[in-house]
Amino acid sequence: MNRILVIDDEEIILKALTKLLERNHFDVTTARTVEEALASHPQSFDLILADLRLPGVEGTDIIPLADPIPVVIMTSHASVRSAVTAMRFGAIDYIAKPFDHNELLLIIERSLMQNRMRAQNQSLKQDLKRLVPSDNIGQCRGLNNIVEQLTALDKDNLFVALYGEPGTGKELLARVAHNNSERCDAPFVVADLPAMQPERIHTTLLGGEAPKPDEDFMPGGLLHTAHNGTLIIRHPAVIPKQVQLALAQVLEERTVPGNAGGRSINVRTILVSEESLQQQGDNGSLQPEFANLFNTSEYSIPSLRQIPEDIVTLAEHYLHYYGLHHHRPNIKYSLDAKAALTAYRWPGNNDELKSLVQRAVLLSSDNQISPSDLGLTTDSGETYQHDLSLDEYFRFFVTRHQAKLSETELASRLGISRKALWERRQKMQLVRE
């Protein structure tokens, strides 16, 4: 049962509202002043009805004191100025006395629904942050340049394409770009096209004609849903060619057709693919009219093999996240584990790394993760090294032995001078821990 706090200095109004609201299954508490309302703990209610003119202070003074509880302002001084004043102070709605009972009940239900939607949205954002850890991703040296470019996109730059191997975190980077833009409070919508039947893609993206003459659009078109926010399109090559042409026109004109002449949209669209626009154009999977929209802001997302300097940084990031999530905040990597992380080839890229770190947090018997906890040992117990390049071997060897050997000993074991060791460290951004 929803709890409503009614604040009014007229006894007859309080009695009438209490009777009306209780008859409609609300739990009602009344107060005659803002001071009296504060004694009832306004933040414990679902909605507050407050008269604009109250003894001592105005009803709008309860708004910041009750935040985030929605407040509907009532007044017998019906005017546009009163309404504007109430809304400017943060009221969720406004109603003039004498009011129609049905109108008041409608406003109450609408205000409660808006508040539930706001609470649900905040909950979903928190849950998404829990499921998709993206904080501090910009600290990765190999990804930092891309992150900086994505977060510095001009607000009018509406077309972005990201491509790279599976598991490289393309969608994660798209989310980072969204969260660091002026669109951060607007919708972040993902179109998972490969999971859809081809004949449903047009309706899913663009919606359809409304079933009733007085409605312009059918709910559900993802471009409508993502208005003022970001739309991620996974694997755009699966979009039928005619739909690509229609989508290109809609995105370029920023208007979705409808019965009443169309609806304007403001959406940043990000394509997420394994191949570049050029490759997809050459093999005929993308129409030029559609692909050309994204040519000026296309980014290649490197695999973990291409940015070995980021492997341990990302692994530490995920370890911190999953350690807190599974109540193991003090868990660390052993030196051998860090070396194994660096030496492994990561065919599954960022997604594989994330999965192995979570697995290790769950499997490790103490607060130090070993290569075997990560699953990075062979049947004979040796750490995976594969066919390392000279740079990869250098990184693996230094990471594994630098805590036990001096710089002179490291250089001697590698067969190089201390100066060469120092220069190679600087070039590879391999800081001694």
The residues that bridge with 48 in the sheet, in sequence order, are 5, 71
Q: Is the pLDDT of residue 84 over 80?
A: no
Residues 128, 305: Cα–Cα separation, whole Å? 28
C-alpha angle 385-388-391 in degrees, rounded to nearest 5 = 125
Q: What is the pLDDT of residue 428?
A: 81
- Mean pLDDT for the stretch of residues 270-285: 95
pLDDT digits (tens, 9 = 90+) for 13-47: 999 999 999 999 999 999 999 999 999 999 889 99
pLDDT digits (tens, 9 = 90+) for 168-198: 989 888 988 888 888 888 888 999 888 888 8
Nearest Cα to Cα of residue 153 among 176, 123, 171, 187: 176
Residues 188, 198: Cα–Cα separation, whole Å? 23
Displacement of CA 237 from its chain's centroid (Å): 24
Q: What is the pLDDT of residue 273?
A: 95
pLDDT band at 216 (very low <50, low <70, confident <90, very high): very low
Q: Is the pLDDT of residue 80 over 70?
A: no
pLDDT band at 218 (very low <50, low <70, confident <90, very high): very low
More confident residue, 396 or 186: 186
For residue 211, say if its preceding peptide bond is cis, omega within 30 degrees of 0.
Answer: no
Residues 235, 47: Cα–Cα separation, whole Å? 45
More confident residue, 316 or 196: 316
Q: Is the pLDDT of residue 137 over 80?
A: no
Q: What is the pLDDT of residue 211?
A: 42
pLDDT digits (tens, 9 = 90+) for 221-265: 888 888 899 999 999 999 999 999 999 999 998 887 764 446 788
Question: Domains, the chain, ranges and CATH?
Answer: 3-124 (3.40.50.2300), 135-302 (3.40.50.300), 306-428 (1.10.8.60)
Three-state SS at 366? coil
Whole-number average pLDDT of the chain: 84
DSSP string, 64-115: HHHTTS-EEEEESS--HHHHHHHHHTT-SEEEESS--HHHHHHHHHHHHHHH
Three-state SS at 162? strand
pLDDT digits (tens, 9 = 90+) for 345-384: 888 898 899 889 988 998 888 899 999 889 887 555 666 5
Q: Is the pLDDT of residue 94 over 50?
A: yes
Residues 74, 88: Cα–Cα separation, whole Å? 15
